[in-house]
Amino acid sequence: MNQSKSLLFLFTGQGAQYPNMLSELMQKEPVFKKSMNQCFKLFQSYHIDLNHKYHSSEVNQTRYTQPALFSVEYALSQLWQSWGISPNLMIGHSIGEIVACTIADVFSLEDACNLVSIRARLMDSIQVDGGMLAILGEFNRFKHMIPETIDIAGYNAQKQIVVSGLKKDLSSFQAQLKSENVRSIPLKVSHPFHSRYMSPMIDEFTHHISSMSFAKPKITIYSNLTSKPCEAFDADYFARHITHPVHFYQSIQQVLNVQDPVMLECGPGPILTSLVKKDHPHCKIIPSCDKLDSSNLFISEAKSQILEEISNVY
């Protein structure tokens, strides 16, 4: 099979999880099941047991959410690649960037699971009454209104910015936004991710991963921190990754400035698909799965669409 177009893998971030994700794929796709079991076994060796948490509402606890999402997204990538469908480019949203780095051989699967375990455990341990707020509107309309106590956590789309802060500050800010007819939605999260309020974990996190080896990525990854292709990852990068915003929107713009790839979302639902479609309705983007239809048939249809888009069969 010769690819006639570039293929961009997108890896979903926290918030996409739900109990018993893609259970039907586990039953019907041996490659997917093998990869999931491989991840579960590694996470168990790092003191995170997903065997029961994965199937219950406890998967929504940060300590388990991030390992569970990592496992699903890694297993999906292995399934796609077993079908001869491999990426030329990758973008991962938050925890998704660690999956991208694993696929690109920046570090081993074992080291990736260790990093995710430490990250999830330390994030979950932070005691702060914080949250996140998605703001739906032109950034220029409200950026001057953002108080000093609130951080921008992510640029998801041209008209969707996410901010993090203490709940009391977010509540006041939401009221101010409402008075200016700017719509905002509190997110169901446990912590003010990608903000200064996650700083208490940084020293311990950096200490734990400082001995890891980081190689140059073998596949181009557009960075959450800079929105540009990243040539080198290290412990400091992943420490900054915790407190700095995700530049997802800018990363998509950077890709589209130079080429027009087919995009494939590797995640438990079409989260990034819907974000990209908001700004680029004519982009060819295909989700691997849908929460409302996690059947084998859905991914089979996605496979047919991808092959039609990127292949020339001689």
Q: pTM (2 decimals)?
A: 0.95
- Is 93's pLDDT higher than 90? yes
Handedness of CA 40, 45, 46, 49 (dihedral sign): positive
In this prediction, residue 312 has a pLDDT band, given cuts at 50, 70 and 90, of very low
What is the arrangement of strands in the sheet containing 262-266, beginning at the earlier edge strand?
220-221, 89-92, 7-11, 262-266, 285-287
Contact 29/294 with Cβ under 8 angstroms?
A: no
What's residue 1's pLDDT? 47
Kindly state the average pLDDT of the residues 186-207: 96
Q: Which of 93-107, 119-133, 134-148, 290-304 has the lowest mean pLDDT?
A: 290-304
Contact 219/90 with Cβ under 8 angstroms?
A: yes
What's residue 300's pLDDT? 87
Answer with the residue of higher pLDDT: 243 or 293.
Answer: 243
In this prediction, residue 290 has a pLDDT band, given cuts at 50, 70 and 90, of confident
Phi-psi region of 106 (alpha: psi -120 to 50; beta: other; left: phi over 0): alpha
255: three-class secondary structure by DSSP? helix
Q: Which domains does the chain have, with CATH numbers?
A: 2-126+195-312 (3.40.366.10), 130-186 (3.30.70.250)
- Is 296's pLDDT higher than 80? no
Angstrom distance (rounded) from CA 5 to CA 149 = 44
What's residue 294's pLDDT? 59
Give tens-digit pLDDT for 7-18.
999 999 998 999
229: Cβ–Cβ under 8 A, 6 or more apart, which residues?
220, 221, 222, 223
What's residue 4's pLDDT? 54
CA distances from 160 to 85, 167, 251 (A): 31, 19, 14
DSSP 286: E
Give tens-digit pLDDT for 128-166.
999 999 999 999 999 999 999 999 999 999 999 999 999
- Is 313's pLDDT higher than 60? no
Give tens-digit pLDDT for 212-224.
999 999 999 999 9
- Average pLDDT of the residues of the chain: 94
CA distances from 107 to 103, 104, 314 (A): 9, 8, 36
Kindly state the average pLDDT of the residues 22-43: 95
Contact 116/70 with Cβ under 8 angstroms?
A: yes
Give tens-digit pLDDT for 36-83.
999 999 999 999 999 989 999 999 999 999 999 999 999 999 999 999
Contact 192/154 with Cβ under 8 angstroms?
A: no
What's residue 295's pLDDT? 62
Indicate the length of the chain as a whole number.
314
Phi-psi region of 186 (alpha: psi -120 to 50; beta: other; left: phi over 0): beta
What's residue 133's pLDDT? 98
Which element (helix H / strand E) includes 207? helix 202-209
- b/e per residue 113-149 (b: at least 16 CB within 10 A): bbbbbbbbbbbbebeeebbbbbbebeeeebeeebeee
